[in-house]
A and B are shown apart, each in its own frame.
Chain A
């Protein structure tokens, strides 16, 4: 148990919904969520398909611990070929949607084809049907949720949907559930939009079970205490959210600023987690209203924030006066320091729009930062921007452009391409801070060397959530390594990548690993699931998943030549801070990494490696 052992296959072209048994042979080798859905995906989809064509598929997948009392057991992932990258995409979200899908009796939903007209999927327990979404098309995710609750008179529906960005095929459109949780990266929302699929609404009354309840309760209770007693998961994250990092990373000189021209932001303290607690002058209340948990989570790092009613962004828009999902560290970075903006409420507004219209704020902010640099060097002019000066530091540029991207208007169309295509279009491809087409997040690899290898080798394009070596290099979890050295980093990155792939396949949240090692997670999986889930098996599975993703990318034409960082990071030394004078030394790490992975010097898994991993 743990699994519901049932898959819902939705053929959007034919308009049919079919139940099929979960392939338990694969479940035994890939567990769930990221691993298992990727296995289904690579078995069913030609790696060379156009991501926005009907031939691409889109999988919503839970893990065996999703919807159980294991802390952080909220997660689901969206697996597809990414619209932003053309690589394997796997975007992970929390909230309540994933657990509800389990409660309805399903492990995953596989969407294939393309609906002729906009549709949404309604799932109530065993019953699944496609319904016309004509009047929902053009609405944001917030309105969509409200309209579906009203239409079906079912307040307990949990909804995952796209906003206008997904409809408009913005390359980094995301999928949003429960108003402000998102499967954020790689453009999974654009794939959903290309299929004319507006939303999935689910309510389940079947519940979940685990294989060995007695052992499960004992171990889950014990592990919850570890989270509660840990300084990061017990105090730092509930109080400041991931925004606890803003000042720390800035002081380390690893905060990419103004499209990574700088590595420290002079106003970091104004946009930090601490600043979100400060009462605002105009109304005496802070930006942060409170923290919120995802389903089953005893950490509760989510930010619920409110924009000052007097702020220029909302002064005439009372619909944005309420509380909603606030700034997390990556979003605060991309729309703050990376654009040189230090207006917390403007950033919060842009974040609200990202949630409302399904935009990945990391890629949006980083793309805008690239556009700002293009503007400052004269490669983009007022002619393109419609007269709006896209200067670093302009909050107005941020809040105007986020709306333009959502609505697909004016220069927003160019910004919706992502930084890679944008910078190519305007003749400066090196100004895109991306790997495999995906913008890197809030850690500058000149000051944190392992993150360079992390970004370069991530299977879904630059990403912090594939091997978060910041844990070790900055926070000392599980043990401290020197962020400025490359020595030992290939092994560190590989280990983090494999463990993360296992965690992402379980239904648990990666943030639990600030306090939990895989040794803490393994017994929870083992008690919930049938079969023997040893530590060795999970580690090997993580490595197998990593190679499976890699092999898909290679077949899609994304080879070792794309395991590269933007030129700036390897050639322009950090101008200030503790890493001053340093570049990222990827070349010192990559060959050793390939060798540790059992790959050729070109980055291709050897036959021996594939055989060892039974691929």
Chain B
């Protein structure tokens, strides 16, 4: 069973613990500028929205790569950048409709979320449950449960 990251903007407080955890996982220091997950603040609406790669089944980035440097991890389903194949052409960054593939200038390679090999650091670091790592076939399970909880059994019985 694959698992997937589920992002819930309602619960995000904008603390950026996820960005620190992500950069630590990849870079060995705390550095939001090198995080694969980003939190966007929409100040006027008082909203914070976590955003990262959704690991498309038919992945634009993978399809676009001319050197097959983006490959599927059979265990996690993540689309991973194989760094020794990546030539830094950045075609995948154009192909991704969501902008979640980006570029590390220092290394000359693209960077994207690879689910940390199956145990995403961002989800572990999130203090509010805004980022969770759930059954990949049931990304809507928690939302369904919340709506189910609101169902008024007494009213419907009348």
- A residues with a Cβ closer than 8 A to B are 67-69, 71, 96, 99, 103, 156, 179, 203-209, 224, 228, 238, 289-298, 300, 304, 306, 322-324
Which residue of chain A lies nearest to B127 when distances are taken between CB atoms in the complex? A298
**B13 x A292 contact (CB < 8 A):** yes
Q: Which of B17, B46, B47, B48 has the most CB of A within 10 A?
A: B46
A298-B127, A306-B46 known; A205 vs B17 contact (CB < 8 Å):
no
Known: A207-B23, A296-B15, A296-B20. A323 touches B32 (CB 8 A): no
Chain B residues in 8 Å Cβ range of A292: 13-14, 46, 48
Residue of B nearest to A234 (CB): B127
**A209-B29, A322-B45 are contacts. A294–B15 as well, Cβ < 8 Å?**
yes
Complex CA distance for A296 and B13, rounded to whole angstroms: 10
CB <8 Å contact, B15 and A293: yes
Please report the C-alpha to C-alpha distance between residue A203 and residue B43 in the assembled complex, in whole angstroms.
Answer: 19
- Give the 5 A-B CB pairs with smallest separation, nearest first: A207-B31, A322-B44, A323-B46, A293-B15, A207-B29
Which of B14, B21, B44: most chain A CB closer than 10 A?
B14
B38-76 to A contact mask, C-beta < 8 Å, 1/0: 000001111110000000000000000000000000000
Contact of A295 with B16 in the complex, beta carbons under 8 Å:
yes
Interchain CA distance A71-B20 in the complex, whole Å = 12
11 contacts between A and B (CB under 8 A): A69-B125, A99-B16, A103-B32, A206-B29, A207-B27, A208-B30, A298-B127, A304-B46, A306-B46, A322-B44, A323-B43
B33: Cβ under 8 A from any A Cβ:
yes
Contact A179 B43 (CB under 8 A): yes
- Residues in B neighbouring A295, C-beta threshold 8 A: 15-16
- A203 contact set on B, CB distance < 8 A: 33
Q: How far is the CB of B8 from chain A (nearest CB, A)?
A: 13
Smallest CB-CB separation from A204: which chain B residue? B33
Q: How far apart are B66's CB and chain A's nearest CB, in angstroms?
A: 28
Residues of B within 8 A of A289 (CB): 45-46
Partner of A290, one of B16, B28, B46: B46
CA distance A384 to B158 in the complex (A): 68
In the assembled complex, which residues on chain B have CB atoms less than 8 Å from the CB atom of A304? 46
- Contacting residues, chain B, for A207 (C-beta < 8 A): 23, 27, 29-31, 33-34
Q: For A96, list chain B residues within 8 Å (CB).
A: 16
| Docked-complex contact A205 and B46, CB < 8 angstroms | no
State in angstroms the CA–CA spacing of A156 and B16 once bound together: 13
* Interchain CB contact under 8 A, A103 and B45: no
The minimal Cβ–Cβ distance linking B119 to chain A, given in whole angstroms, is 14
Residues on A with beta carbons closer than 8 Å to the beta carbon of B28: 209
CA of A459 to CA of B23, assembled, Å: 40
Chain A positions within 8 Å of B43 at CB level: 179, 322-324
